[in-house]
Amino acid sequence: MEFESIEQIFADNDRTHDNLKSVVADVSDETAAALVDGEKWTISQLVEHIAPSSTVCYKLLSQARDAEMPASGTVAVSSDFKTRSADLGRKKVEAPERVRPTGNFSIVESLARMEENRSRLREIQPMFENYDGNAAKFPHPILGEMSAVEWLVMKGGHEARHTKQIERILAKQA
C-alpha cells in the first residue's frame, strides 16, 4: 500500500473497480439474490454496500483549501492506517447501520450509483493535487482517524475486499 501520487491511487482504484465490474458482469439476478451458506449478504447486497460515496474527501480537502494549506506533493498513508487496514483484511466486521444494504437495489442499479459517485470523486481530484490531503482527519468507524488521502486509499481497498468476497460466493455457487 505504497503510493507515490494521487493519480496512482486513482489508477489503482480504477483497476479495482474494473475488476469488480468484470466479476459481476455475467451474474444473473437469481444468483445475485441468493444467500449462500456462511454469508450474511447476497452479491447484490455487497455491491449495494460498496456503491455509496463518502463526501468525506471533499470536506477534508475543503478544510485544507480554506486554511490555505497547499499540497506538499507527497502522499502520506500513516503506519496506523496500514496496520488497521491489514488487520481488517483478516477478520469479519459488522458494518455500521448507515452502510448496511437495504436489498432494494439490483447490481445494475448499484453499479450505476457507484459510477456517479466515482465521477464526483474524479471531479475533486484537482483538490487532492492542490490542497493538503494529509492534514485534516475524519474518523472511520473501524479504521479510526483518517486523512482525505487515506479515505481515497480505503475506498479502493474496501471495493477490493468485497470483490474477493463476491468471488468466494460465486465459487460456492458453482
> What pLDDT sits at residue 12?
96
Residue 108 domain-assigned (yes or no):
yes
Specify the amino acid at residue 49.
H
> What pLDDT sits at residue 87?
81
CATH number of the domain that residue 156 is part of: 1.20.120.450
pLDDT per residue over 70-98, tens digit each?
998 888 898 988 888 888 767 778 888 88
Specify the amino acid at residue 162.
H
Number of domains forming the structure of the chain: 1
Residue 1 domain-assigned (yes or no):
no
Residue 62 domain-assigned (yes or no):
yes
Q: Which domain holds residue 12?
A: 6-173
54 pLDDT above the threshold of 80: no
41 pLDDT above the threshold of 70: yes
Contacts for 33 with CB less than 8 Å, ≥ 6 apart: 42, 43, 44
Task: Check residues 96 and 105 and name the one with the higher pLDDT.
Answer: 105
3-state secondary structure of 70: strand
Residue 133 domain-assigned (yes or no):
yes
> What pLDDT sits at residue 1?
64
Cell numbers that stand for 31 in this block:
444468483
| Cα–Cα nearest to 16, from 157, 169, 149, 168 | 157
